[in-house]
Amino acid sequence: MATQMHLGLRWMTHGRFTERLSLVDAWAWLDACPAAMGSEEVPLQHAIGRVLSAPLVFLTDRPERDLVLVDGYAVHADSTLGASTYNPLFLTIVPNGMALAAGSATVCHAGETVPSGADAVLPLEVGEAVGTTLEVCDTVPRGFGVGRKSHAAQHGEVAIEAGRRLGVPQIALAASLGVTQLIVRRRPVVTIVLAGPKPPAVEALGLAISTLVARDGGVTDCAHRHYDLVRTLSGDAPADLILVVGRSGWGEDDDAVTVIATAGGRMEHHGLALTPGGSAGLGWLGSAPLLLLPGDPLSALVTYELLAGRLLRRLAGRAADFPYPIRRLVLSRKIASPVGVSEFVPVVCHESSVEPLALAPADGLVGYARADGFLVVPAGLEGYAPGALVDVVTVPGSVSGQGEP
C-alpha cells in the first residue's frame, strides 16, 4: 500500500508542473508577506487568546503597601529570638491599630496592612494566646510573613509586554489592575473560497478549515460554495488572507489559476515539491496573500497545516511555528520518501515510539483521522530507518495523547 501511495503522490507532485517550489522556499515566501494588522480595543472578557498590542504598565507599586501574607501575630522579629518549645517566650498582645513596641504583638490576618512597628508575622501554630499574653514557641526571621511594598513590581514597570498572547494569568493580572479594556492585535480576516467537491463527493473542508483558522487566530469572513469562482473572488470584501480550495491540478475542470488571474489576482508559484499537496500555489489578490489549496481533503488539510497556518499565525501576531507540542520519538518502522520532495507523514504515537500510517491512495483522510500527529520528511532525505529519532508534531486530544498538555 505504501508503494502505491508514493507512486500516486509522486505523479501528483511532478505532474505537469514546470516549477516545484521547495517547502523551505515556500516558508520563506510566507514569512516575507507583510504582517501589519493594526489594533482594536476589546473588553477584558473577550481578550483571552488575543495578542496584546500596547504594553500594560503598573500604575502603582505592587503591593502598594506592606502586606500581611499569613494569619498570625504581627511582631518584632527580635522579640522571638531564642524561643522554642522548651524555652517559650512571652509577648504582650495589644489591640489592633496600636504601634508595636518590642515585646508586644497584635493579631493580624492575611491581606491586611502590616501594623506599624512590626517586621514579621508569627504563624498561629507557633503561638498560643491566653488573655493578653502570647506564648511564643519558635523564632521567626525578620520579614517572615510580610510582603514588602513594591516587592512584586514598581510603578511604571511593564506588567504585560506587547506581543504577549493573553492567557488566564495575564487576564487575571489585568483585572487586578482595574483594567476593563485591552488594546489587542486585530484578528486577520480570512476568506475561504471553496470550489466544491466533484460529485458525488460531499463537501468536507469548509468547517474543518474554518476551525483551523479560528485556532490560528483568524476570523472567517465567509466559506463560499459558489461554482462561479470569478464572481466570488471579484466581489469579495477585502480580506487579509484568501484561501482558494480546489481545482488546483491539471484536469479539464482544474481552472483555479485561470480564475484567479481573471479576477485580478496572480500566482507567483504553482506547484510545490511536497507530498501530499503538490498542486498548491502561492500568490496575491490585490494586497492580500492568496493560497491555492488542493481540493483533495487530505491534501487541503496538509497544505493548510504546512503553509496557510504558518502565515495566519504570524499575521495574528503569534509564533509562526506549529501550534502543537513537538516530541522526539523513536520510529518503529521505516519511512521511504522520494528525494527532492518534502513528505507529510501522519503517525500514531506510543509511549516512546511512533509508527507511520500507510494511507490509502483513494481516501487518505480516513487514515489521517486516526493519527496522533505528523512528521515532515525533509526533501534531502530518502526517509528514516527504524530506530531513528524523529520530531513529531503531536495533536492534543488524540487517543494516545489523552491527558497530555
Q: What is the DSSP string of 12-35?
A: HHHTT-S--B-HHHHHHHHHTS--
45 lies in the same domain as 176: yes
- Cβ atoms within 10 A of the Cβ of 165, count? 17
210 lies in the same domain as 297: yes
CA distance 68 to 222: 55
Residue 210 lies in a domain: yes
56 lies in the same domain as 74: no
Contact yes or no for 373/392 (Cβ under 8 A): yes
Residue 320 lies in a domain: no
pLDDT at residue 335, as a whole number: 96
Contact yes or no for 365/297 (Cβ under 8 A): yes
CA distance 289 to 258: 17
Residue 233 lies in a domain: yes
Residue 321 lies in a domain: no
181 lies in the same domain as 193: no
Return the bridge partners of 190, or none.
Answer: 220, 241
CA distance 225 to 93: 78
If you count DSSP H runs as helices and E runs as strands, how many of each does the chain have, helices first? Answer: 9, 26
pLDDT at residue 3, as a whole number: 34
Query: What are 173-186's pLDDT values in tens digits?
Result: 999 999 999 999 99
Pairing assessment for the beta strands 89-93 and 158-160 based on DSSP bridges:
unpaired
In this structure, what C-alpha cell is assigned to residue 6?
Answer: 508514493
Residue 401 lies in a domain: no
Residue 298 lies in a domain: yes
Q: Identify the CATH number of the domain in which residue 94 sits.
A: 2.170.190.11
- Cβ atoms within 10 A of the Cβ of 187, count? 22
- Cβ atoms within 10 A of the Cβ of 201, count? 12
**What is the domain count for the chain?**
4
307 lies in the same domain as 231: yes
Domain final position from 315, 343, 368 = 315
Residue 358 lies in a domain: yes
* pTM score, whole prediction: 0.81
| Among 338, 366, 332, CA closest to 275 | 338
- Cβ atoms within 10 A of the Cβ of 260, count? 26
| Among 289, 225, 240, 237, CA closest to 260 | 289
Q: Identify the CATH number of the domain in which residue 258 sits.
A: 3.40.980.10
CA distance 295 to 254: 10
45 lies in the same domain as 180: yes
Chain centroid, CA 376 distance in Å: 20
> b/e per residue, 97-136, with b = 16+ CB within 10 A?
eeebeeebbbbbeeebebbebbbbbbeeebbeeeeeebeb
H or E segment and range at residue 101: none
Contact yes or no for 330/389 (Cβ under 8 A): yes
CA distance 241 to 223: 13
46 lies in the same domain as 172: yes
CA distance 303 to 172: 37
267 lies in the same domain as 309: yes
CA distance 354 to 384: 12
| CA distance to 100, 109, 145, 224, per residue, from 69 (Å) | 18, 8, 5, 58
**Which residues does the chain have with pLDDT short of 70?**
1-16, 18, 222-232, 234-237, 398-405
Q: Which region, left, alpha or beta, applies to residue 49 given φ > 0 means left and ψ of -120 to 50 means alpha?
A: left
290 lies in the same domain as 224: yes
Residue located via cell numbers 516549477: 19
233 lies in the same domain as 274: yes
Domain span at residue 137 reads 67-147
Query: What are 336-394's pLDDT values in tens digits?
Result: 999 999 999 999 999 889 999 988 777 888 889 999 999 999 999 999 999 999 999 99
Residue 152 lies in a domain: no
131 lies in the same domain as 91: yes
Domain final position from 122, 147, 172 = 147
Sequence-ordered list of residues with C-beta below 8 angstroms from that of 89, at least 6 positions apart, any chain? 79, 80, 82, 83, 135, 136
Query: What are 135-185's pLDDT values in tens digits?
Result: 999 999 999 999 999 999 999 999 999 999 999 999 999 999 999 999 999
Burial of 287 (0-12, 13-18, 19+ CB in 10 A): exposed
10 lies in the same domain as 54: no
pLDDT at residue 5, as a whole number: 37
